[in-house]
Amino acid sequence: MCLCLPHPIPRAHPHRKVQPGWGSHLLPSCQRVQETRAVGLEGGPWEQCKSHTLLPSLRIFPEHLCSALTHPSCPLPQEIQAYRQRSLMEKELLFFSYDVFGIPFVDPDTWTPEEVIPKRLREKQKVERETAARISEEIGNLMKEIETLVEEKAKESADISKLIREGGPLVYEGASVTMNSKALNGSQRVVVDGVLSAEECRELQRLTNAAASAGDGYRGKTSPHTPSETFYGVTVLKALKLGQEGKVPLQSAHLYYNVTEKVRHMMESYFRLEVPLHFSYSHLVCRTAIEDKQEGRSDNSHEVHVDNCILNAEAMVCVKEPPAYTFRDYSAILYLNGDFEGGAFYFTELDAKTETAEVQPQCGRAVGFSSGSENPHGVKAVTKGQRCAIALWFTLDPRHSERERVQADDLVKMLFRVEEVDLLQETGTEQEPPPVTTTDGLHAARKDEL
């Protein structure tokens, strides 16, 4: 036998046909054995192999032949050894060029000894393999994270869609829907009129002018959104404390508290929410145009934004992550007046440019909407006069309920229980006191108390 193979070679069955293409995976190194005919080896071992009965066709023994090239116990014919040595020397030159001059070389053989490759190149290739494996692993992990986020977002959207069934009753007499989502060219939007009477609007405006301080709610910044307007605000708790101290009418502070409760219940009912809304933040604020800063003005009173995510108008995406108030689910603005110029509220597409709807403020009008990326909105410049409104943000997650609101609830219970007890003592009656208007008991109070 002309080639010493590490394993016994099975004899070809005389009746078994060799399928065409069998052994097509023959490695280049194995093919070189056949190529020895072209380098003057006729009459040598190759000619003997051709006629050997055990090797009717070399293509049916590629694995045995290839393993023979590197098997230590197999003495190869001198011609094959010379050819193998020449191949290794060529590879050394090619690897040297790769290492020194950066000329790429990809070894087609798997049997090449490791010592043929320069040490520095071996280390470089090892680092590259490890880097590629790490990058591949990181990409795989990132793809898994993205898939998880997509699944969670889809689940969140599905859960929210189950909760939202727009068009429920407004609960309170006198209030009526003026525009729904369809009229406002969007989703989860509503405009309600008749939430306040004209006298209630005036009373709350007077409360603002008496109790509000410049920059309240904006970390002391008197012009937080535009240098052309000044902002004055007051929270529910602050108004109640001022009322307790006698610095503002207590009934006005109580009205402020009750009105915010009224809007909350209207939002829950209209959007048919199966879980209650909790206050995230409440703020009565007036923005006043600065007369000498209106000429040539092109900015807004409040630029287009989204309440629970960071809007990137250029990319038309809204990223729901801090510092955005990601826990806010619904928003509402209750207007106290309309006797000013400019200051219209408007919705846009995610590009912050394409306006989809506009709402003109007026006494007792409320705009309610979901706080997500489906409702980018802004306020146009107030160019003359003073625009007053109560801004409300709600959350479905009780863990993010406003702490000040809890304090305000307790203060209302204390203040108005004492007031009712004093009244009963003066009249000498032993009747039960009327229901207390609190966060939990507003539904028990009369609908027309406001």
Catalytic residues: 387
Report CA 85 to chain centroid distance, whole Å. 61
- Residues 6 or more apart from 57 whose CB is under 8 A from it? 12, 18
Distance between CA 347 and CA 378 in Å, rounded? 7
d(CA 45, CA 391): 96
Report the C-alpha gap between 258 and 289 in whole angstroms: 29
Phi, psi for 44 (deg, rounded to 5): -90, -150
Look at strands 355-359 and 377-379 and give their pairing: unpaired
Question: 111: which 2 tokens?
Answer: 């049997």
Contacts of 213 (CB under 8 A, 6+ apart): 232, 233, 234
- Angle 22-28-31 from CA coordinates, rounded to 5°: 65
Q: Of the candidates 229, 388, 392, 379, which has an alpha carbon nearest to the alpha carbon of residue 304?
A: 379
Ordered alpha helix ranges (H), 316-438: 403-427
DSSP 422-440: HHHHHHT--PPPPPP--TT
The bridge status of strand 330-335 relative to strand 341-342 is: unpaired
Amino acid making up residue 217: G
Please name the residue ranges forming H helices in 339-447: 403-427
Q: Where are the alpha helices (DSSP H) in 168-326?
A: 198-211, 236-244, 250-270
> How many other CB atoms are there within 10 angstroms of residue 46's CB atom?
19
- DSSP code of residue 122: H
Q: What is the DSSP string of 170-207?
A: --STT-EEEE-TTTTTSSSEEEEE-SS-HHHHHHHHHH
Q: Which residue has the tokens 């056949």?
A: 34
- Asked if 50 and 57 count as a contact pair (C-beta separation under 8 A), the reply is no
The answer to whether residues 271 and 168 touch, using CB atoms and an 8 Å cutoff, is yes
